[in-house]
């Protein structure tokens, strides 16, 4: 053993003594070289804010990896490190791009949430670094939306927008035609005024193959070995390979600039391993001289593209749906985790209202505030969060954060309402001791304050807050224990109300989930729903008092119809107002929709069905959290002899149908509304047959829709869809259902020469029109296999009441149906759609003895009592900022040409909106409120579009005169302001 060791040592000495190796200083100072192919090397990492691990686990590096989330990391740094980072940012070596709290999803997100989370991030970056991000960087989301391009792109001041995932067929064609990079006009209404340079990467967001250098990475890309004394010396080969990859990318790219994304998920854990190799490549490739390699950023790349003066092809609409290969459509996640999606949507609407109330009282800097909810909602927009594509424990973590934020915001709302209802508040004594309660579990019919026993002289006080800028009337429904109650308005006048029995099906759902969420079964069980119609001023509240009294009338009349073959000719008509739904007595099915006001009469059918999820046994592509891969489709038939139960009353009629042991449906027709409301309770979806199931509802009509239907982009612009067709390429149809699915956040509609058939939704879902005249929504999905895209867990959600007692997730949700004469549907979709996003906020107090109305403020007007916003304008943001200034955002809700009256420019009088304050200053800003609008417009790059496109004239509201203070909004325009007040 000793002899051998001696020999080895000698050999090494010999080697070292005859070589010429020395320390090499790599020249990495290269910049753009005209006339050469310039390879822009952009080092980047992609750290999901929760996916396989929770955001906290990723941050601290538990579960074996070290990730950094910039804001959290930043808060923990010394002044010295902060100063170094600031220097890197100001020198352009480190570029802050995208800049939201997360890289949000683009399918299951609502535009208001996208704006809020981007604003939060952009204002942080502005405050800490005094910079405004220029680049959109949505490299991972699974398809790309029009709203992302124009609203969260151009309108936040981005000059370009880059992404990784587009359909494989689309990508192949674009590579061929050099059209991966385009000018994207996402909005028909705003056209070229909000266009953006948009680039899809040639592959994913990884480096070209063989150029991957993560420490301990599983790639075997050869390092650049430039020690000539070593057998592995490979500089010429590596340079050749680099040049070949550069030329190959240049062959599918316009201009002589190509970008290499040097990194991927969770990279640069030890940054030196990457930078060492990149240094060598730049040094040797530039010595070789065939192409020019340089350290770059997306900004440098964008400016280089712009400087070439090239013309770019025009892109409209969006990049949905996305398939990464044959039979692999990422359209399942449009619906995945419907309860989480519903929770995000409900809290998003609540957050909007809570910020308004926080402003009306004045923000309490010592807390509680709505800030935690803002953070939780921002994180929940991440492309593995609301998308439903994280592991279960991570999804639970998102929901937990929202719940914590909600609980704090609930205190803000309660304190604000206590302040605003207290008649002594204005005089400064502010001794309010009213404790308002709220009922976040109303969706499972659980509301302790409304279930109080009123028989002993107590009264229930309900404050109904309206976050919209319009006066509004809507039916309020709360569970009660005794039907003998009356409802009075703030003048003491008894108003019409109705009681509807709470059925056993609802009680079972209520008890199980109360136990699951609260850890205990409810003590009392309500027997009824109390319904009454509330009328509330814009941005204000009204008060209603419920007290014990013998009911004279208004109890729902119950009619149980046993559906059977014998009553073939029998029909059942439902609806106390203009709208009537007609059901067949034969099988209990909906057959007709009749609106006596608009004279619409249309045959309709509503049914449930399911797709059996493919198990991947044929080609390893199963249906899963991301991917919708249906195998077969099955109708769900009502079990025979099932009664159709109808409750009729003065305010609404309800039709109850138990479709099977795991689907229950209530259809409501209101006296004052021209739409039908469907409430479904689906689950637990049975999987004991070993088959995953994706549950759909279908509304069929006789409309001759000729393959066309329309779905919204993030709840905003509607985009025309044509079945089995893509505008940008000739579609090879291999998945006739999954490949025709689109994300829906607001609604879906179809039309023919006579009518429009529309559905609105209460959360993000997937949907389509697979047959002419028919619309379909996927409401719930439960699957047994993983779909092989990294989550490594089947989408099989359960709800547990003990560690061992679990059942498949039950989802309660709503969708809404209306049929209008052609050209009249937009008014409902837009205005009612906004009401769905911003429902009434209910707060409850108990009062015994003295008269609430005389000792409190029963009606509150947040804006001038004589004023209301125009019907086509919504307030998206009314928020007090840290420094006492106010962030104020208005949106026009209609597109150009959508409605003959409402697709017009409208204006808002700020003096009337802020009637109780005096405006000192107003600045219009970019959408994310991080720079002045005028400054942003001045900096904006102007791009050339290929060919000649005649564009209709784009209108936008004019500048705001600081003395008149009137804001004009053109169709689809959103305007953002920072306002200060005289104190
Ligand atoms: Zn990601």
Task: Give the Å distance between the CA of 142 and the centre of ligand 1.
Answer: 9
> What confidence tens digit (pLDDT) does each residue in 739-752 have?
999 999 999 999 99
Angstrom CA distances, 227 to 22, 224, 233, 276, stand at 9, 9, 6, 14
DSSP 889-933: EEEE---TTS-TTTSS-EEEEHHHHTTTSEEEEEEEE-TTSSSBH
Mean pLDDT of 249-258: 98
| C-beta separation of 723 from 740 below 8 A | yes
Task: Give the Å distance between the CA of 730 and the centre of ligand 1.
Answer: 29
Task: Give the Å distance between the CA of 433 and the centre of ligand 1.
Answer: 47
Local structure of residue 829 (DSSP, 8 states): I
Angle at 572 between CA 571 and CA 577, to 5 degrees: 135
Task: Give the Å distance between the CA of 111 and the centre of ligand 1.
Answer: 20
Alpha-carbon distance of 367 to 436, in angstroms, equals 17
**Closest C-alpha among 463, 442, 398, 363 to residue 113:** 398
Angstrom CA distances, 807 to 511, 684, 811, stand at 14, 6, 12
Give residue 171's pLDDT. Answer: 98
Task: Give the Å distance between the CA of 263 and the centre of ligand 1.
Answer: 13
Facing residues of 808 across strands? 798
pLDDT for 378 beyond 70 = yes
pLDDT for 64 beyond 50 = no
Mean pLDDT of 2-17: 36
Give residue 640's pLDDT. Answer: 61
Task: Give the Å distance between the CA of 391 and the centre of ligand 1.
Answer: 13
**Closest C-alpha among 517, 510, 515 to residue 400:** 517
Task: Give the Å distance between the CA of 503 and the centre of ligand 1.
Answer: 44
Alpha-carbon distance of 919 to 899, in angstroms, equals 34
Angstrom CA distances, 81 to 67, 73, 122, stand at 18, 11, 21
pLDDT for 10 beyond 50 = no
> What confidence tens digit (pLDDT) does each residue in 260-299 have?
999 988 888 888 899 999 999 999 999 999 999 999 999 9
Task: Give the Å distance between the CA of 254 and the centre of ligand 1.
Answer: 28
Give residue 939's pLDDT. Answer: 96
Task: Give the Å distance between the CA of 106 and the centre of ligand 1.
Answer: 12
Task: Give the Å distance between the CA of 386 and the centre of ligand 1.
Answer: 13
Q: What are phi and psi of 518, to 5 degrees?
A: -110, -10
Give residue 318's pLDDT. Answer: 98
Task: Give the Å distance between the CA of 4 and the centre of ligand 1.
Answer: 53
Alpha-carbon distance of 537 to 544, in angstroms, equals 14
Task: Give the Å distance between the CA of 47 and the centre of ligand 1.
Answer: 7
Task: Give the Å distance between the CA of 466 and the centre of ligand 1.
Answer: 37
Task: Give the Å distance between the CA of 955 and the centre of ligand 1.
Answer: 37
pLDDT for 3 beyond 50 = no
Task: Give the Å distance between the CA of 616 and the centre of ligand 1.
Answer: 24
SS3 (DSSP) at 645: strand
Task: Give the Å distance between the CA of 800 and the centre of ligand 1.
Answer: 29
Task: Give the Å distance between the CA of 936 and the centre of ligand 1.
Answer: 29
In which band, very low, low, confident or very high, does the pLDDT at 455 lie, cut at 50, 70 and 90? confident
Task: Give the Å distance between the CA of 526 and the centre of ligand 1.
Answer: 45
Task: Give the Å distance between the CA of 385 and the centre of ligand 1.
Answer: 10
Task: Give the Å distance between the CA of 46 and the centre of ligand 1.
Answer: 6
Task: Give the Å distance between the CA of 272 and the centre of ligand 1.
Answer: 23
Angstrom CA distances, 484 to 346, 499, 551, 836, 973, stand at 31, 9, 5, 30, 49
Angle at 670 between CA 667 and CA 676, to 5 degrees: 45
Alpha-carbon distance of 217 to 223, in angstroms, equals 12
Task: Give the Å distance between the CA of 93 and the centre of ligand 1.
Answer: 24
Alpha-carbon distance of 352 to 349, in angstroms, equals 5
Task: Give the Å distance between the CA of 164 and the centre of ligand 1.
Answer: 11
Task: Give the Å distance between the CA of 372 and the centre of ligand 1.
Answer: 23
> What confidence tens digit (pLDDT) does each residue in 896-940 have?
999 999 999 999 999 999 999 999 999 999 999 999 999 999 999
pLDDT for 352 beyond 60 = yes
In which band, very low, low, confident or very high, does the pLDDT at 23 lie, cut at 50, 70 and 90? confident
Task: Give the Å distance between the CA of 190 and the centre of ligand 1.
Answer: 30
Alpha-carbon distance of 253 to 180, in angstroms, equals 7
Local structure of residue 270 (DSSP, 8 states): T
Task: List CB contacts of 396: < 8 A, sequence separation 6 or more.
Answer: none
Task: Give the Å distance between the CA of 384 and the centre of ligand 1.
Answer: 7
**Closest C-alpha among 317, 321, 316 to residue 143:** 321
Task: Give the Å distance between the CA of 50 and the centre of ligand 1.
Answer: 9
Task: Give the Å distance between the CA of 431 and the centre of ligand 1.
Answer: 50
What percent of the chain is modeled with pLDDT above 70?
93
Task: Give the Å distance between the CA of 224 and the centre of ligand 1.
Answer: 29
Give residue 456's pLDDT. Answer: 84
* Tokens at 380, concatenated: 């929940």
**Closest C-alpha among 777, 783, 416, 396 to residue 612:** 783
Task: Give the Å distance between the CA of 122 and the centre of ligand 1.
Answer: 20
Task: Give the Å distance between the CA of 889 and the centre of ligand 1.
Answer: 30
Mean pLDDT of 59-87: 72
Give residue 562's pLDDT. Answer: 59
> What confidence tens digit (pLDDT) does each residue in 524-564 have?
999 999 999 999 999 999 999 999 988 766 666 666 665 55
Task: Give the Å distance between the CA of 28 and the centre of ligand 1.
Answer: 30
Which residue has 């047994």 as its token pair?
Answer: 784
> What confidence tens digit (pLDDT) does each residue in 692-744 have?
999 999 999 999 999 999 999 999 999 999 999 999 999 999 999 999 999 99
Task: List CB contacts of 700: < 8 A, sequence separation 6 or more.
Answer: 604, 605, 606, 607, 771, 773, 774
Task: Give the Å distance between the CA of 687 and the centre of ligand 1.
Answer: 30
> What confidence tens digit (pLDDT) does each residue in 457-479 have?
899 999 999 999 999 999 999 99
Alpha-carbon distance of 897 to 904, in angstroms, equals 9
Task: Give the Å distance between the CA of 103 and the centre of ligand 1.
Answer: 8
Mean pLDDT of 57-69: 47
Task: Give the Å distance between the CA of 220 and the centre of ligand 1.
Answer: 23
SS3 (DSSP) at 264: coil
Task: Give the Å distance between the CA of 381 and the centre of ligand 1.
Answer: 12
Task: Using CB atoms within 10 Å of the CB of residue 620, give its burial: 0 to 12 exposed, 13 to 18 middle, 19+ buried.
Answer: exposed
Task: Give the Å distance between the CA of 344 and the centre of ligand 1.
Answer: 19
pLDDT for 19 beyond 80 = no
Cα radius of gyration (the chain): 30
Alpha-carbon distance of 659 to 50, in angstroms, equals 37
Task: Give the Å distance between the CA of 243 and the centre of ligand 1.
Answer: 30
Mean pLDDT of 588-617: 95
Task: Give the Å distance between the CA of 721 and the centre of ligand 1.
Answer: 27
Task: Give the Å distance between the CA of 622 and the centre of ligand 1.
Answer: 21
pLDDT for 6 beyond 50 = no
Task: Give the Å distance between the CA of 23 and the centre of ligand 1.
Answer: 39
Task: Give the Å distance between the CA of 143 and the centre of ligand 1.
Answer: 12
Task: Give the Å distance between the CA of 397 and the centre of ligand 1.
Answer: 17
Pinpoint the alpha helices (H) of 371-484: 371-380, 392-421
> What confidence tens digit (pLDDT) does each residue in 300-325 have?
999 999 999 999 999 999 999 999 99
> Average model confidence (pLDDT) for the chain?
92
Task: Give the Å distance between the CA of 893 and the centre of ligand 1.
Answer: 31
**Cα separation of the two ends of the chain:** 89
Task: Give the Å distance between the CA of 837 and the centre of ligand 1.
Answer: 27
Alpha-carbon distance of 449 to 845, in angstroms, equals 7
Task: Give the Å distance between the CA of 48 and the centre of ligand 1.
Answer: 5
Task: Give the Å distance between the CA of 405 and the centre of ligand 1.
Answer: 24
Mean pLDDT of 667-680: 97
> What confidence tens digit (pLDDT) does each residue in 93-115 have?
888 999 999 999 999 999 999 99
Task: Give the Å distance between the CA of 795 and the centre of ligand 1.
Answer: 18
DSSP 599-635: TEEEEEEEEEEEEEEPBSTTTS-B--SS---EEEEEE
Angstrom CA distances, 54 to 51, 61, 138, 375, 751, stand at 6, 10, 20, 15, 44
Task: Give the Å distance between the CA of 326 and the centre of ligand 1.
Answer: 22
Domains assigned to the chain: 73-329 (3.20.110.10), 436-555+831-862 (2.60.40.1180), 559-830 (2.70.98.30), 873-981 (2.60.40.1360)
Task: Give the Å distance between the CA of 395 and the centre of ligand 1.
Answer: 15
Give residue 16's pLDDT. Answer: 40
Angstrom CA distances, 42 to 198, 258, 480, 871, stand at 17, 10, 61, 47
Task: Give the Å distance between the CA of 370 and the centre of ligand 1.
Answer: 27
Facing residues of 312 across strands? 945
Alpha-carbon distance of 399 to 411, in angstroms, equals 19
Give strand ranges (E) for 672-739.
676-682, 693-701, 708-712, 718-722
> What confidence tens digit (pLDDT) does each residue in 560-587 have?
665 555 555 688 999 999 999 999 888 8
Task: List CB contacts of 975: < 8 A, sequence separation 6 or more.
Answer: 889, 890, 924, 957, 967, 969
Give residue 4's pLDDT. Answer: 36
- How far from the centroid of its chain's Cα atoms is residue 105's Cα? 7
Which residue has 């398939």 as its token pair?
Answer: 323
Positive or negative, the CA dihedral 133, 136, 140, 144 is: positive
> What confidence tens digit (pLDDT) does each residue in 422-450 have?
887 655 445 567 889 999 999 999 999 99
Q: What are phi and psi of 633, to 5 degrees?
A: -115, 140
Give residue 2's pLDDT. Answer: 37
Task: Give the Å distance between the CA of 140 and the centre of ligand 1.
Answer: 5
Task: Give the Å distance between the CA of 141 and the centre of ligand 1.
Answer: 7
> What confidence tens digit (pLDDT) does each residue in 606-665 have?
999 999 999 999 889 999 999 999 999 999 987 666 678 899 999 999 999 999 999 999
- In residues, how long is the chain? 983
**Closest C-alpha among 527, 452, 522 to residue 483:** 527
Angstrom CA distances, 470 to 465, 476, 715, 818, 877, stand at 12, 17, 20, 22, 15
| C-beta separation of 383 from 141 below 8 A | yes
Task: Give the Å distance between the CA of 196 and the centre of ligand 1.
Answer: 23
Task: Give the Å distance between the CA of 270 and the centre of ligand 1.
Answer: 20
* Tokens at 828, concatenated: 């409902």
Task: Give the Å distance between the CA of 767 and the centre of ligand 1.
Answer: 24
Task: Give the Å distance between the CA of 81 and the centre of ligand 1.
Answer: 27
Alpha-carbon distance of 345 to 108, in angstroms, equals 10
The shares of helix, strand and coil residues in the chain, as percent rounded to the nearest 5, are: 25, 30, 45
| C-beta separation of 946 from 185 below 8 A | no
Task: Give the Å distance between the CA of 382 and the centre of ligand 1.
Answer: 8
Task: Give the Å distance between the CA of 423 and the centre of ligand 1.
Answer: 51
In which band, very low, low, confident or very high, does the pLDDT at 215 lie, cut at 50, 70 and 90? confident
């Amino acid at each position: 053993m000793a002899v051998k060791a001696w020999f080895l040592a000698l050999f090494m000495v010999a080697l070292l003594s005859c070589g010429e190796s020395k320390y090499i200083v790599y020249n990495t100072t290269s910049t753009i070289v005209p006339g050469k192919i310039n390879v822009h090397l952009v080092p980047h990492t992609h750290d999901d804010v929760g996916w396989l691990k929770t955001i906290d686990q990723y941050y601290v590096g538990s579960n074996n990896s070290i990730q950094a989330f910039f804001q959290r990391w930043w808060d923990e740094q010394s002044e010295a490190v902060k100063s170094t980072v600031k220097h890197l940012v100001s020198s352009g070596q480190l570029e802050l791009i995208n800049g939201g709290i997360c890289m949000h999803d683009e399918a299951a997100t609502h535009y208001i949430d996208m704006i809020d989370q981007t604003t939060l991030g952009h204002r942080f970056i502005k405050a800490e670094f005094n910079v405004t991000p220029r680049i959109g960087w949505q490299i991972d989301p699974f398809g790309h939306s029009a709203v992302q391009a124009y609203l969260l792109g151009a309108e936040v001041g981005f000059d370009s927008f880059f992404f990784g995932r587009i359909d494989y067929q689309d990508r192949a064609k674009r590579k061929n035609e050099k059209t991966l990079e385009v000018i994207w006009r996402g909005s028909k209404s705003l056209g070229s005024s909000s266009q953006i340079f948009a680039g899809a990467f040639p592959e994913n967001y990884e480096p070209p193959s063989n150029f991957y250098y993560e420490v301990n990475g599983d790639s075997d890309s050869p390092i650049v070995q430039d020690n000539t004394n070593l057998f592995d010396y490979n500089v010429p080969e590596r340079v050749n390979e680099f040049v070949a990859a550069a030329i190959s990318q240049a062959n599918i790219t316009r201009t002589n600039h190509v970008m290499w994304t040097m990194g991927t998920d969770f990279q640069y854990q030890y940054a030196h391993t990457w930078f060492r190799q990149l240094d060598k490549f730049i040094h040797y490739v530039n010595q070789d001289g065939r192409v020019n390699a340089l350290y770059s950023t997306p900004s440098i790349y964008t400016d280089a593209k712009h400087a070439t003066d090239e013309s770019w092809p025009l892109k409209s609409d969006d990049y949905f749906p996305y398939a990464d290969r044959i039979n692999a459509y990422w359209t399942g996640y449009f619906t995945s985790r419907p309860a989480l999606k519903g929770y995000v949507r409900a809290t998003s609407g609540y957050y909007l209202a809570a910020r308004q109330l926080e402003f009306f009282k004045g923000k309490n800097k010592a807390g509680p505030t709505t800030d935690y909810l803002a953070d939780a909602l921002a994180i929940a927009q991440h492309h593995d969060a609301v998308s439903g594509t994280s592991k279960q424990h991570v999804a639970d973590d998102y929901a937990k954060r929202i719940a914590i934020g909600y609980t704090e915001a609930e205190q803000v709302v309660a304190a604000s309402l206590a302040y605003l209802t207290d008649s002594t508040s204005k005089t400064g004594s502010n001794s309010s001791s009213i404790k308002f309660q709220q009922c976040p579990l109303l969706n499972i019919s659980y509301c302790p304050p409304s279930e109080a026993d009123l028989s002993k002289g107590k009264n229930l006080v309900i404050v109904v807050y309206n976050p919209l800028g319009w006066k509004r009337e809507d039916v309020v429904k709360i569970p009660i224990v005794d039907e003998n109650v009356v409802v009075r308005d703030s003048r003491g006048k008894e108003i019409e109300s109705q009681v509807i029995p709470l059925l056993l099906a609802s009680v079972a759902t209520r008890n199980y989930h109360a136990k699951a969420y609260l850890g205990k079964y409810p003590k009392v069980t309500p027997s009824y729903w109390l319904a009454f119609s509330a009328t509330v001023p814009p941005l204000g509240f009204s008060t209603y008092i419920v007290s014990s009294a013998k009911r004279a009338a208004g109890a729902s009349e119950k009619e149980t119809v046993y559906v059977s073959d014998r009553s073939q000719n029998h029909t059942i008509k439902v609806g106390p107002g203009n709208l009537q739904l007609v059901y067949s007595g034969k099988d209990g099915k909906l057959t007709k929709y009749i609106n006596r006001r608009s004279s619409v009469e249309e045959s309709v059918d509503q049914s449930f069905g399911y797709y059996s999820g493919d198990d991947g046994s044929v080609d390893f592509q199963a249906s899963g959290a991301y991917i919708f891969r249906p195998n077969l489709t099955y109708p769900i038939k009502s079990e025979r002899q099932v009664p159709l139960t109808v409750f009729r009353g003065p305010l609404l009629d309800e039709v109850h149908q138990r479709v099977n042991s795991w689907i229950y449906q209530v259809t409501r027709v209101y006296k004052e509304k021209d739409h039908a409301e469907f409430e479904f309770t689906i689950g637990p979806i049975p999987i004991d047959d070993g088959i995953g199931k994706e549950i759909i509802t279908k509304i069929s009509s006789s409309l001759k829709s000729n393959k066309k239907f329309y779905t919204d982009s993030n709840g905003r612009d509607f985009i025309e869809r044509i079945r089995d067709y893509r505008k940008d390429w000739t579609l090879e149809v291999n998945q006739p259902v999954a490949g025709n699915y689109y994300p829906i956040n607001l609604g879906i509609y179809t039309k023919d020469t006579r009518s429009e058939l529309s559905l609105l939704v209460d959360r993000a879902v997937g949907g389509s029109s697979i047959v002419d005249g028919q619309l379909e929504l996927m409401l719930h999905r439960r699957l047994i296999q993983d779909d092989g895209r990294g989550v490594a867990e089947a989408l099989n959600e359960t709800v547990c009441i003990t560690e061992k007692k679990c059942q498949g997730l039950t989802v309660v949700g709503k969708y809404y149906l209306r049929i209008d004469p052609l050209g009249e549907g937009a008014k409902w979709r837009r205005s009612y759609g906004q009401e769905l996003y911003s429902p009434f906020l209910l707060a409850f107090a108990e009062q015994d003895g003295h008269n609430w109305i005389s000792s409190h403020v029963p009606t509150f007007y947040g804006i001038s009592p004589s004023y209301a916003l125009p019907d086509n304008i919504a307030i998206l943001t009314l928020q007090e900022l840290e420094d006492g200034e106010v962030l104020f955002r208005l949106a026009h809700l209609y597109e150009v040409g959508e409605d003959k009256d409402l697709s017009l420019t409208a204006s808002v009088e700020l003096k009337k909106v802020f009637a109780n304050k005096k405006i000192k200053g107003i600045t219009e800003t970019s959408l994310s409120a991080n720079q002045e609008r005028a400054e942003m417009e001045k900096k904006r790059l102007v791009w050339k579009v290929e060919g000649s496109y005649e564009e209709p004239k784009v209108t936008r509201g004019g500048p705001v005169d600081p003395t008149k203070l009137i804001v004009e909004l053109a169709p689809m325009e959103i305007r953002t302001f920072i306002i200060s007040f005289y104190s």
